[in-house]
Amino acid sequence: MHQFEHLRLHPERPQIRQIRRASALLQQGRFVIAPTDTCYTLMCKPQATGAIADIRTLRQLDDHHLWAVVCADLSQAATCVRIDNQAHRILKRCLPGPYTFILPSSASLPRRIFGKRHDVGIRIPDHPVCHLLLEACGEVLLCTTLQFPGDDYPAFDPDEFVPRLKHLSCAVLDVGWSGTTPSTVVDLCTSEPVLLRAGTGEWPA
């Protein structure tokens, strides 16, 4: 039986009770839709096979979709990627912020999701709700932008997208409208940073 929850939060001073509830739902293996400094994002635990399957169905994602990993801070990021001195300087300068940095992955990421890939995108969003949720969870989460199949832009208005999710076992952390421009993506796996997608974050930063 599915269970949908619509949690309304203050965008700058989120209610801790709601954050804890969302964290508990993630621990139960469900996914949440949480705000970031760019767009609303689907998040779940890497071990939550049911939630991952639901997200794949919702977004019509194939097995080659490049999931990102969302982290509370650089210490948490270091549990799943390798960060050399140059990358560390860039991450310290830009994060938290609206960037996804591609870095060499460590062995801790599940092969059933990342396959034989040797790199992964890391996000540390600059948003109070997202930060508190990750702190409450105490671990990294998989993430991908909330964008419905056929739509030209990510979903930004909870009044519009919540009714489209009520049949699923998930929770929406509603802080009102979000942006519609995704993060800037930069590859740090080579000797020089490579801009892969221009987004919200300015580059060079």
Crossing angle for the helix pair 128-137 and 16-27, nearest 10 degrees?
Answer: 50
**Residue of 69, 56, 185 lying closest to 134 (CA atoms):** 69
The answer to whether residue 166 is domain-embedded is: yes
Q: What pLDDT is attached to residue 181?
A: 95
The answer to whether residue 124 is domain-embedded is: yes
Query: 34 forms bridges with which residues in the sheet?
Result: 41
Q: What pLDDT is attached to residue 118?
A: 83
Q: Which two tokens stand for residue 40?
A: 């609303």
The strands making up 184-187's β-sheet, listed across from edge to edge, are 5-8, 170-174, 31-35, 40-44, 141-145, 68-70, 119-123, 99-104, 184-187, 194-197
The answer to whether residue 203 is domain-embedded is: no
**Residue of 154, 200, 199, 198 lying closest to 177 (CA atoms):** 154
Q: Which two tokens stand for residue 61?
A: 């994602």
Q: What pLDDT is attached to residue 112?
A: 67
The answer to whether residue 103 is domain-embedded is: yes
The answer to whether residue 153 is domain-embedded is: yes
Rounded Cα distance between 139 and 103, Å, is 18
Q: Of the ranges 38-52, 67-81, 112-126, which one carries the lowest mean pLDDT score?
A: 112-126
117 has a pLDDT exceeding 80: no
How many domains are there within the chain?
A: 1
What is the pLDDT averaged over residues 125-130?
96
Q: What pLDDT is attached to residue 113?
A: 72
Looking at the chain, the whole-number percentage of residues with pLDDT higher than 90 is 84
The answer to whether residue 205 is domain-embedded is: no
Q: What is the CATH number of the domain that holds 48?
A: 3.90.870.10
Reported as a pLDDT band with limits 50, 70 and 90, residue 205 is: confident
Decide: helix, strand or coil at residue 12: coil
105 has a pLDDT exceeding 80: yes
Rounded Cα distance between 31 and 48, Å, is 8
Tell me which residue range forms the domain holding 173. Answer: 5-197
Looking at the chain, the whole-number percentage of residues with pLDDT higher than 70 is 96
The answer to whether residue 169 is domain-embedded is: yes
Q: What pLDDT is attached to residue 202?
A: 95
pTM given for the model: 0.94
What is the pLDDT averaged over residues 191-195?
94
pLDDT in tens, 159-178: 999 999 999 999 999 999 99
1 has a pLDDT exceeding 60: no
What is the pLDDT averaged over residues 171-190?
96
The answer to whether residue 85 is domain-embedded is: yes
56 has a pLDDT exceeding 70: yes
Q: Which two tokens stand for residue 43?
A: 């998040």
